[in-house]
Amino acid sequence: MQLLAGQESYMRALLEETAARSARYSAAVRGMRLAPQPQDIARLKGLGGPLPQNPSDPKETLALLDDIGSPATLASTGGRYFGFVTGGALPAAVAANWLAAIWDQNAAFSVMSPVAAKIEEIVLAWTVELLALPQSSGAGFVTGTTMANFSALAAARTALLQRSGWDVEDAGLFGAPPLRVVVGEEAHVSLLKALALLGLGRSRVISVPTDGQGRIKSEALPELDERTLICIQAGNVNTGAFDPAQDICSRAHEAGAWVHVDGAFGLWAAVSPRYAPLLQGVSLADSWAIDCHKWLNVPYDSGIAVVRAPEHLQKALATAAAYLQTSDVREPSHYTPESSRRARGIEMWAAIRSLGREGLRTLIERNCRWARVFADRLQQAGFEVLNEIVLNQVLVCFGSSEETRRVIAAVQEEGTCWCGGTQWHGRTAMRISVSSWATTEEDVESSLAAILRIAKGRKS
Ligand SMILES: Cc1ncc(COP(=O)(O)O)c(C=O)c1O
């Protein structure tokens, strides 16, 4: 067959077909079982087979992807997915994502995409205002918090070593003055991964004890100095708890240390006057890692690394070459590990533009309210909730580890909702993370009914 793509009428038909299939999925997702059935997963092999030798009709490719791929998705955008910390995808963000795919912009340099570059500037200004971070901060738009941690910690490494006259970008870490890296015992694994990637070591860190909710005990902090990097957390992945930023930041800054905040989802709580007090002192830090595919509810993948003194982020990550035409404006790739990349600021812009501060506040507070409803009702039914419900995370035990594991597996199998498991201070628990704009009261009720039915051992 002759490849027709590129012809205007063909492209229009293909896009209309794509819109129709996407709309069908979107309408169905609320009623879908959460996890695909084994037979749906088995059918995925139909996407493989021998390497295609010749071009074929793009519509056929689309149909194959939809017919085989859609049933094998987790229905995570439907409102009853409570696994990991997973936001849905806001309508405006999905629509912007489609348009951006048609634009196919390379967000590396402003000359390659003035719109992508400008949107990043706007999103940065809006984000620091929403989250009450310093207005003069710089930022890199990255894939998620893992890379946001990596980028911000690279800036910290640059700045701290520069104080000893060491240029880590030129000289590497061989023979460098040692840095002291302090983390909480409950630091997220992605933070440790970022430290490992930066040559700072996963286990060379000083690990500070935490309390029953996973908060750093600031009285247990080691001695800090101007070559110390201390990493704190705003929103523990299990409990939602916040490290005591005010205390840590003031002690760290007296000593000249750098404070980095892993605020993957918790930082978004700053938009709610009700939850903002949890973040007291967070804005005093030197850098922050934030996810946008979590509580901002943009499609994957999206995160942002914010650094109070942008020159450190730029020194750590900028590149220069004769053929790379730059200008006086902010160059996006001077703040990210990648050069060429998609213009992921576009969905963030659409999300913030369409929700506004008020819409985002409502989303955050509604999710926190649902988390409280889950916790209260599970407790009333006689099950043990392990954490204080400070935010949108619930940890619940259904008796022995074995019984809790049984309930988690059966909930996933039954398909009304999806919750994962974890270990919290030696106990096996189910995690319920309420992070999607799409979750309604009805979703919470039907999910609770399913969980309670399964936990009480009833068939239906
Ligand atoms: C506190 C915290 N930090 C980091 C991450 C990693 O984020 P990502 O998967 O977007 O890289 C998560 C993910 O849940 C998290 O909760």
User: How crowded is residue 42: how many other Cβ atoms within 10 Å of its Cβ?
Assistant: 11
Q: Residues 421, 423, 428, 432: is their CA dihedral positive or negative? A: negative
Nearest partner of 401 among 383, 433, 378, 423, judged by Cα:
423
In the sheet with 420-424, reading across from the earlier edge strand, the strands are 384-385, 393-397, 427-433, 420-424
pLDDT tens per residue, range 221-234 = 999 999 999 999 99
Determine the longest span between alpha carbons in the chain, in angstroms. Answer: 72
Ligand 1 center from residue 262 Cα (angstroms): 8
Mutate to test the pocket of ligand 1, among 237, 239, 296 (most ligand atoms within 8 A of CB): 237
The whole-chain average pLDDT of the chain stands at 96
> Which contiguous run of DSSP H or E holds residue 258?
strand 258-262
The CA distance from 320 to 324, in Å, is 7
Over 80: is that where the pLDDT of 438 sits?
Answer: yes
pLDDT tens-digit series, residues 337-393: 999 999 999 999 999 999 999 999 999 999 999 999 999 999 999 999 999 999 999
> 249 near 284, Cβ under 8 Å?
yes
pLDDT value for 346: 98
What pLDDT score does 273 carry? 98
Residue with tokens 């929403």: 130
From the CA of 326, how far away is ligand 1's center (Å)?
A: 33
At 151, list the tokens. Answer: 């980028």
pLDDT for 84-120, tens place per residue?
Answer: 999 999 999 999 999 999 999 999 999 999 999 999 9
Positive or negative CA dihedral for 153, 226, 314, 245? Answer: positive
**Which residues, other chains included, contact 448 with Cβ-Cβ below 8 Å and sequence gap of 6+?**
373, 374, 377, 378
The Cα–Cα gap between 87 and 326 comes to 35
Model confidence at 4, pLDDT cuts 50, 70, 90, reads: low
Kindly indicate the confidence band of residue 459, based on its pLDDT and cuts at 50, 70 and 90: very low
pLDDT recorded at residue 6: 59
Choose which residue among 149, 192, 291, 297 to substitute to test ligand 1 binding: the one with the highest number of ligand atoms within 8 A of its C-beta. 291
Q: Residue 266 and residue 268: Cα distance in Å, rounded?
A: 5
- Comparing C-alpha atoms, which of 147, 120, 17 is closest to residue 332? 120
Read off the amino acid at residue 121. Answer: E
The helix (H) or strand (E) run that includes residue 40 is helix 38-42
- Cβ neighbour number for residue 284 with a 10 Å cutoff: 17
CB-based contact 158:312 (threshold 8 Å): yes
Determine contact, residues 298/269, Cβ cutoff 8 Å. Answer: no
pLDDT above 90 (res 308): yes
Mean of pLDDT values over 137-148: 98
Please count the other Cβ atoms lying within 10 Å of the Cβ belonging to residue 69. Answer: 16
**What band does 331 get if pLDDT is binned at 50, 70 and 90?**
very high
Q: What is the pLDDT of residue 301?
A: 98
CA 351 to chain CA centroid, nearest Å: 15
Compute the average pLDDT of residues 407-417: 97
Give the pLDDT mean for 70-78: 97
Q: What are phi and psi of 210, to 5 degrees?
A: -125, 165
Which amino acids bring their CB within 6 angstroms of ligand 1?
A: 84-85, 144-146, 188, 190, 233, 235, 237, 262, 264-265, 291, 303
pLDDT of residue 5 exceeding 70: no
Per-residue pLDDT at 45 exceeds 50: yes
pTM of the model: 0.97
Hey, which of 142, 149, 153, 188 would you mutate to test ligand 1's pocket, going by the most ligand atoms within 8 Å of its Cβ? 188
Give buried/exposed letters for 358-371 (b at 16+ CB in 10 A, else e): ebbbebbbbbbebb
